[in-house]
Amino acid sequence: MNLKEIDMSSNPLTGSIPPTFGKLTKLTFLSLIYCQLSGSLPQEMTNMTNLSKLYLGDNNFSGYLPQLCQSGSLEKFTVPNNHFTGEIPRSFRNCTSLTRVLLYGNRLTANVSKAFGVYPHLTYMDISDNMLFGELSPNWGECQNLTKLQFSRNNISGGIPPEIGQLRQLRVLDLSSNHLVGEIPKEFGGLTSLFNLTLNDNQLSGQLPQEIGKLSNLEILDLSKNFLTGPIPPQLGDCSKLQYLKLSENVLNGSIPFQIGNLVYLQGLLDLSHNSLNGKISPQLAKLIRLEKLNLSHNMPSGSIPPSFEGMFSLHSIDFSYNALEGPLPNSKAFKKAPSEAFIKNKGLCGEAQGLRLCNTSSISHGDAWKGQKVVIMIILLFSVLFLLFVIVGISSICYQRRRRIEKGGLERSSENTFSTWNYDGIANFEDIVEATEGFDDKYCIGIGGYGKVYKANLPTG
């Protein structure tokens, strides 16, 4: 038959594909998406050697996949969300014409180490949600046109081939929910086009490579549920386009880098929970004004939640439970409306949130109280010293002034003793008095008054 194209997608067909389809040897395009078809695909389809595009997704097909691509003409093969079982056709290993392969949502049990070859034209590969096993081949690094490689939710084991870091066009790499071990290759720093890196729910270990900071186009990073250790590299703050960051359920330690605050486009989630992070929470995180969900629970940070978090207006879900935090909560709706579970098992948080006591003098931590007491003591000591200096200076000044007055008073009295005699009775003169007292000898002194010494003597006049 000369029929080349069949497109019956979304038609309410029933039953299965008849074996007579194998006679459509000229057919190049077949699309039966969302048709409610069931049963197995007829093995006669292997005769459709000119078929380049086959779309059978979202039906109820079962059984084995036929050995298609015998002549190497098949380009797009998409059969997701069916019930296919068994291995991936052996003919696929050498089908170098493939550009797009979607096998996700089936029950395939192939060994990925042997099922695939090198595909120079392949751009899109998704075999998620199957029961595939084995280890990833380094050959994937030779598929230079790949933009998406998704093997999530299978039983794949072994390490991640460093050769994947050679895929300069790769935009999505999802190997989540497998049994992968070993470290994240530092070669991943070469995936400069990557915007989605999802490796969660594996058994990856070692430190998060600093080279991840080179992924300038990264928007989604999920490394949760692994065994990653060491600190969060500050270079992560260079991934300026990140919108979703999840590093929870690892063994990360050290403080949260303040450079995380540079991820100003974070919006969906920042989840660092269930690690061993410690230190103070940096006020720089308040720069994440687009962030909607923040989870720092089950760690060991201490001190207070920075008041600057009041400016994170987009927050609507927070969790600070199971930490060593204390002090008042930031004054914002996200904190006031949060459930009590968001703050349990901390050192001493207070505020208007449900389940917390209101902040008052009794809610101040011992450390803060001692700091306050030290400030008061220093102020008292300072004023005491200043007061003592003032008293000493005052007393010294008074004593000095008194001494000056005494000295001045002595001179004045001496002058008065000398010249007060001029007015005595208006008669006597000074020479007669000096002679009578023998030069004011003390034997003639009969007392000392307020104006000097008083002398008694007999003048010549009697």
To the nearest whole number, what is the mean pLDDT of the chain?
86
Task: Give percent of the chain with pLDDT exceeding 70.
Answer: 81
Give the pLDDT mean for 157-184: 97
Q: What is the pLDDT of residue 421?
A: 44
| Three-class secondary structure assignment of 130-150 | CCCEEECCHHHHHCCCCCEEE
CATH 3.80.10.10 fits 183-364, yes or no: yes
Give 261 or 408, the one with higher predicted confidence.
261
Sign of the alpha-carbon dihedral angle for 384, 387, 392, 395? negative
The confidence score (pLDDT) of residue 23 equals 84
- Tell me the pLDDT band of 119, cut-offs 50, 70 and 90: very high
Q: pLDDT band at 9, cuts 50/70/90?
A: confident
- Confidence at residue 454, expressed as pLDDT on a 0 to 100 scale: 76
Strands (E), 163-281: 172-174, 179-182, 196-198, 203-207, 220-222, 227-231, 244-246, 251-255, 269-271, 276-278
| Concatenated DSSP letters of 395-416 | HHHHHHHHHHHHHHHHHHHHHH
Least confidently predicted of 9-13, 121-125, 170-174, 325-329 = 9-13
Q: What is the model's pLDDT at position 397?
A: 60
Among 129-133, 333-337, 418-422, whose mean pLDDT is lowest? Answer: 418-422
Q: What is the pTM of this model?
A: 0.76
Using alpha carbons, list the distances in angstroms from residue 287 to 278, 308, 334: 20, 9, 16
Provide the pLDDT confidence category of residue 273 given band limits of 50, 70 and 90: very high
SS3 29: strand
Joined together, the tokens standing for residue 381 give: 């000591």
With a CB cutoff of 8 Å and minimum separation 6, the contacts of 110 are 86, 87, 88, 132, 133, 134
Average pLDDT rounded to a whole number, residues 224-232: 98
Return the higher-pLDDT residue of 392 and 224: 224
Query: Rounded to the nearest 5°, which phi and psi values hold at 294?
Result: -130, 125
pLDDT of 279 above 90: yes
**Mean of pLDDT values over 239-268:** 96
CA dist 228 and 187 (Å) reads: 17
H-helix or E-strand spanning residue 382: helix 366-419
Convert the pLDDT of each residue in 405-461 to its tens digit.
Answer: 545 554 344 444 444 444 444 445 666 777 777 767 776 777 666 556 777 777 766
Confidence of residue 285 (pLDDT cuts 50, 70, 90): very high
Reported as a single tens digit per residue, the pLDDT across 337-385 is 999 999 999 999 999 888 889 988 544 444 444 444 454 456 556 656 5
How close are the terminal C-alpha atoms of the chain, in Å? 175
* Tens-digit pLDDT profile for residues 27-70: 899 999 998 899 999 988 988 889 999 999 999 999 999 999 88
pLDDT at 327 exceeding the cut of 50: yes
Residue with tokens 């392969």: 101
Architecture of the domain spanning 1-157: Alpha-Beta Horseshoe (3.80)
Q: How far apart are CA 164 and CA 49, in angstroms?
A: 32
- pLDDT for the residue 304: 95
| SS3 category, 108 | strand
